[in-house]
Structure 1
Amino acid sequence: MSNNAGKKVVVGMSGGVDSSVAALLLKQQGYQVQGLFMQNWQNEPGEVCTSEVDFNDASKICDSLGIPLHRANFSDEYWDRVFKEFLSEHEKGRTPNPDILCNREIKFKSFLDYAFKIGADHIATGHYARLTKRNGRTMLMRADDLNKDQTYFLHEVKESEFSKCLFPLQDLPKDEVRRIAEENNFINYDKKDSVGICFVGERNLRDFLKRFISFKPGNIKDSEGLILGEHPGALLFTQGQRQGLNVGGVKDKSELPWYVYGKSIELNEVYVCQGGSNPLLMSSGLIMESMKWINVGLEPESLDCEVQVRHRGKPVECNAVFKKDEVEIQFKEEIRAIAPGQSAVLYSNNQCLGGGIIAKSIQV
């Protein structure tokens, strides 16, 4: 008999292929598996509700596996603890990542609490990440499939929460996950991966934000102060952005594309430069605030490690100096288009140490 027999695992079922295969693998390993579908966003009347499609897919998978499916509505918690912060950061002119907040506040807090109330021994998700035990501590490591690795999004989850979690996909490449799903006749084996912000769905982020934040047009300027055009609202633009500028054919300028390298919320101005490798887009370091360590109690004063400033971004060697209220990070090579409000995540030997919010970049 499996050592896992009788141990109850509640799997976060999204209706996608990853969580479906995670549930299958856990059942094959002898766990007593149950599913839980989270509704994190309350759609307006008349809006297309993709969550119903996802719930129906999750129901069919759970039926085929012979496991029960619970449904929990966390939309109030999501609004209060994720969406309000998302809007607040946008209003400050920063570029927040709601997926990181959602993992911290909903998937590994509200979901975990709910699962343990219904008798779970563990929770599980379809994340591509690895958990390992070392000296009695739970460490978060990169997944085997580095192209799908999702530890960047998980760096604000606490060790105490990871200690109750299982990641069944940690050893598997994505194509193997799809193959397993197809072999088991899962209806979602070729379902597209979800992209973008969960509460926006297929909608345009700019149009969506206009429902909650007021924008006013302002000037687009180059580094010499020349007005090149007008934007619909400085809050809508982020460092490195090329789309939506409608700047081109400027007299006495080259034909190279224009990119956002900065903005002023006070002046409601967006600043642009030409060329994707323009020095104005490059940074030699950054200042990070709100540093959160996964493994509290192991914090050094300084550290040579790697930093990653976006999902699927290239990890870059760096030196991090930890001060009272901030972390100063100097890169060993330049990084392009660093956006305040995004997360900088630290790694050492594929271990995710934690991370914080980018306050500002240090220009080359």
Structure 2
Amino acid sequence: MIIVSVSSGIDSTFCILLISKIGYKNLLCTYIKIWNYDCKFKIHFKYLNNLINIFLFKKLILDCEKPYSKIFKKFLKLYKIGKTPNADIVCNNLIKFRIQKYLYKYVIFSKFIFLTGHYLKYKNGFFLSDDFSKDQSYFLYKIIKIKNCFFPLGNYYKYQIKKILDFFFLLPELKSSKGMCFIEKKNFQYFLKNYIGNVKANVYLKGEVIGKKSFFLTTGQKIFIKKFLYIFKKNRKKKSLYVCDFLSPILFSIKVKIENKISLYNIRILSFKLRNNSCLNKCILYYKNNLITVIFLYPQIVSIEQSLVFYYKKKLIFGSKIKKIFCKNFINY
């Protein structure tokens, strides 16, 4: 049995087309429903039904609102105190790639291959996708054991997928989902207000109040007050945000400490990603006092609880969360 995790977007539609053209007929498409809020899942169901009429596959709706609510509550707790958690990383680990656990309630099968629309490659480990701008290996660093999984999009570029779907008149009108499991970025701050409120904070630039913004913005985040500025510090008691210009040394760090997730006893030089869409940069790692110290070759904008993912060449080695930040204002250090 071939199981395809679908979202009714471009990438999952391409997976269905690819498998159908290869000749597989025993196809089950699973849709993971985790939101009632602005998820447009009714529109997704409608498009999914149209695909069923074309490819004649079976569909299964998995209601995962309860397990995801636990993940989201933890995300909100960290977000409120100004840290930078990533709910998508936890969601992939605990829900999307443990789909077998939920499927056992509905279907019985002995052998299966599980397909997803993630942009990455897998061969005894995760590798970067050919389309680096769409690579999603950053979100999967917590997944240690994986079997019977196939990632067909790792060998394609997004523009190629769109052209192929357009050729078969299957290009969806729906935009691709972007983070937080189908909550669009432009609606993200509005979405959070429903859960954490709209607490305003004074914004300080060089000791003077220049305006007010939501207190629940994170360190390193860009804001606009007459010009683009960046948050380098937060004060929870005073409900204050401290900002600076982009080239200000106080915004950057050259050394952090992370949780020790691997047996690292020697100095190593690896590449890293601080965000999913960031470029690969070099760093030096060494082990000390049950923590791994990371020294960046180039200064970076970082924040506590942010995920740092490491690569050797194109292979994902491991990832961990930032626990301590050092060497801010590094020019005067």
What's the CA shift for 1:316? 0.9
Structure 1: gaps of 5 or more residues: 1-7, 133-137, 249-255
Letter aligned with residue 7 of structure 2: S
Cα distance in 1 between the residues matched to 2:52 and 2:306: 36
Matched, 1:94 2:83: yes
What's the CA shift for 1:15? 0.2
- Select the residue among 6, 27, 36 that pairs with 2:20: 27
Cα distance in 2 between the residues matched to 1:141 and 1:193: 22
Q: TM-score, normalised by structure 2?
A: 0.88
What's the CA shift for 1:211? 2.4
Identity %: 25
Structure 2: gaps of 5 or more residues: none
Please give the per-residue CA displacement for 1:316-352, whole angstroms capped at 9, x wherever unaligned.
Answer: 11111244643211011222x2232321100001001
- Superposed, 1:19-168 pairs within 5 Å as 19-31=12-24, 32-43=26-37, 48-80=38-70, 82-109=71-98, 111-115=99-103, 118=107, 119=109, 121-132=112-123, 138-158=124-144, 160-161=145-146, 163-168=147-152
With over 3 angstroms needed to count, the CA separation of the structure-2 counterparts of 1:323 and 1:116, relative to structure 1, is: farther
Paired position in structure 2 for 1:186: 170
- Superposed, 1:1-364 pairs within 5 Å as 8-31=1-24, 32-43=26-37, 48-80=38-70, 82-109=71-98, 111-115=99-103, 118=107, 119=109, 121-132=112-123, 138-158=124-144, 160-161=145-146, 163-188=147-172, 191-198=174-181, 200-201=183-184, 204-214=187-197, 216-223=199-206, 226-243=207-224, 246=225, 248=226, 257-274=228-245, 276-289=246-259, 292=261, 301-323=266-288, 325-335=290-300, 337-362=301-326, 363=328, 364=330
Cα distance in 2 between the residues matched to 1:347 and 1:319: 12
Please give the per-residue CA displacement for 1:232-277, whole angstroms capped at 9, x wherever unaligned.
Answer: 443234314123xx3x4xxxxxxx6432122122432211112x22
What's the CA shift for 1:128? 0.6
Cα distance in 2 between the residues matched to 1:78 and 1:299: 33
Check conservation: 1:130, 1:142, Cα contact below 8 A.
Answer: yes
Cα distance in 1 between the residues matched to 2:3 and 2:217: 39
Cα distance in 1 between the residues matched to 2:281 and 2:237: 33
Greater Cα shift, 12-21 or 112-121? 112-121
Aligned to 1:207, the other structure's residue is in SS state helix
Tell me the number of residue pairs that the alignment of Structure 1 and Structure 2 aligns.
324
